[in-house]
Amino acid sequence: MTTFQSYTFGTAFGLLMTGMSLAETGALVGKRSVIPVEQREVLSGRLSLREAVLTALELNPEIEIQREQQVATELQLDVARAEFDPVLSADSAGRYRREPRASSELDGAVQPESDGVTASMGVEKKLGTGASVGLDWQPLNRSATNSTFSTLNPSFSSELSLNVRQPLLKGGWGVNQIPTELAMVNVTSGKYQTMQVVIDTLRDVEVSYWQAGAAANELEIRAQAVELAKVILEETMARDTSRVDELEAKSNLLEREAALVDAQKQLDDATDNLLRVLGVLGEMEPGDLALQKVRVPADVEQLIDPEKRYAQALETSPRIAIQRARIDQAELEVERARYDVRPTLDLTASVGVSGRDADMRGAWSGAANQDGRAANAGIEFRIPWGSRAERAREASAESDLKRERLQVHAERLDLFGDVREACRAVEAALKRLAAADAAVEVNEVRFEEQQIRRRNGDSSLRALLEAQNDLDGSRLGQLQARVEVLTSLARLRALDGQLPETLGVVLVDGKAVEDVPEDQRS
């Protein structure tokens, strides 16, 4: 049994060697539930690309972190809305006072003495116009004294009042909704940020998946080269050859074995990288994992139209959506700063009724009958001298808005450049793949010819070994070209936001909710 065969990666030998298709990812797993975060059970057996995607969506730590951040952002929206929630209040207090001596005959006692107790409650609410409306009720205000001039002793009073303050300039009308609107924009931006993290993770999953499969293929190629080197050494030893040929054959075998060890290391590293992206590194062994066989899409060339992909990216890429949300935030900040430059001009008003009697019930009845009435209205004006701080904040907010608008333009340029670069990468990889396919075909024929000529004594051992080197190199080049096609295509699809749909999942706030039929995948 070879070193490669000890891995169940052996089932992936057809990976890349027969061609690959992102659309044909094998049987869909339907509504299969992925590993719960609490359990972290070990994956084992055959792992399709789509299963790897679903596992990463559930277990990748970067996605989990971003989702928690999204939860925190949504809670800030509740914080902003809570500003308009009613506020209840209640208080109670008692008092007692005794004077050293009377200061006037009107005190009604040689040593004036008084005591009392009060209790009040109220509710206050801020309105969207900026107005503060408060309703206060003082059900108990008892006072007693030893003064002979007191007509009600003890005296009970009760009061009910309505108070309103409405800002007319600073702090008035629409500006009060800005914190809530900012929080809503932050929630929207957070969802796009979550989508971007998910798409980046899916890209990393697909790239890591193909690289791990390619490493498994390279390991098998190296293992085949070792077996072939052993055959060549045996044939060389069995023939009447020179000492130089024997040493050269042994050296060739040692080189192949060293390359096999290096390929084993590359396979372990690639597998660890895949498991890390999936979020299960350290919880399963590479030998538990087998990758599926896939083929290169037949319509790849139709997918590398830069103008079409860029137009799609402008509509669906989270990168642009995030930047647009930042512009919305900056516009709201400018609006708030402009309100803050205004002077304070508040309209105040209050009305109230009260009652007083020798007992509490009588005081309540008097307030209900409006025995006592009060009303007042006023206007308050304040303005900082020069308003330097407010005007500086306004200028800063306008500068931030200008910068964000320039940034979205720069982001579009970067995205267009990235799309064009990705399209060129796919196109170049396809050309390298075509050249590699031709090279493999040529070197396979050449190696077979050298084997026949060597057996007939018409060729040297060095020529045969050179043919083997050329064949191995062309096969590895073909493998690398196929990996480059798929990884370049994954990066291209990640740029325009189409990667999740391509991989057969629909994402809502970063969570897979349903499958996409194969005939609808782009």
> Which pair of tokens denotes residue 388?
């330097």
Count of other CB atoms within 10 angstroms of residue 201: 24
Residues 318/192, Cβ–Cβ less than 8 Å: yes
Residue among 173, 14, 177 nearest 83 (CA): 177
Would you state the pLDDT for residue 290? 61
Q: What angle do CA 225, 228, 234 make, to 5 degrees?
A: 140
> How would you classify the pairing of strands 113-126 and 45-47?
unpaired
Q: How far does Cα 516 stand from its chain's mean position?
A: 22
Identify the bridge partners of residue 409 per DSSP, sorted by sequence position. none
Amino acid 275: pLDDT: 87
Structure tokens at 457: 């004594």
| pLDDT of res. 285 | 60
What single-letter DSSP state applies at residue 358? S
pTM exceeds cut of 0.85:
no
Measured CA to CA, the distance from residue 495 to residue 35 in angstroms comes to 28
The per-residue pLDDT for 501 is: 81
Q: Which two tokens stand for residue 400?
A: 């931030």
Q: What is the pLDDT of residue 516?
A: 52
Residue whose C-alpha is closest to residue 75's, from 181, 196, 187: 187
Amino acid at 271: T
Question: Counting beta carbons within 10 angstroms of the beta carbon of residue 84, is it exposed (0 to 12), middle (13 to 18) or buried (19 or more)?
Answer: middle
Q: Which residues contact 137 (CB under 8 A, 6 or more apart)?
A: 120, 121, 122, 158, 159, 160, 161
- Copy the structure tokens of residue 47: 């792992």
CA distance 341 to 384: 9
What is the rounded distance in angstroms from the CA atom of residue 318 to the CA atom of residue 193? 7
Q: Quote the distance between the C-alpha of residue 184 and its chain's center.
A: 16
- Confirm if 94 and 70 have CB atoms less than 8 A apart: no
Please give the chain's pLDDT, 522 residues, in tens: 333 333 333 323 233 333 333 233 222 222 333 344 333 343 445 677 888 888 888 888 888 898 899 899 999 999 999 988 999 999 999 988 888 877 777 767 778 888 889 999 999 999 888 889 999 998 888 888 887 777 888 888 899 999 999 998 887 777 888 899 999 999 999 988 988 898 899 999 989 888 888 888 888 888 888 888 888 788 778 776 678 877 888 888 898 889 889 888 888 888 888 888 888 876 656 555 666 554 566 666 666 677 787 888 888 888 888 999 999 999 999 999 988 888 889 999 999 999 988 888 888 888 888 888 999 999 999 888 878 888 999 999 999 999 999 999 999 999 888 888 888 888 888 888 889 889 989 988 988 888 787 777 776 777 877 888 888 888 888 888 888 888 888 888 888 878 888 887 777 765 656 555 555 444
pLDDT score for 403: 94
> What CA–CA distance (Å, rounded) separates 221 from 227?
10
Burial string for 13-50 (b: 16+ CB within 10 Å, else e) reads bbbbbebbebbebeebeeeeebbeeeeeeebeeebbbb
Where helices occur in 239-375 by DSSP H, the ranges are 243-278, 306-316, 318-341, 360-368
CATH number of 180-329+395-514: 1.20.1600.10
| Amino acid identity, position 164 | V
User: What's the pLDDT score for residue 419?
Assistant: 87
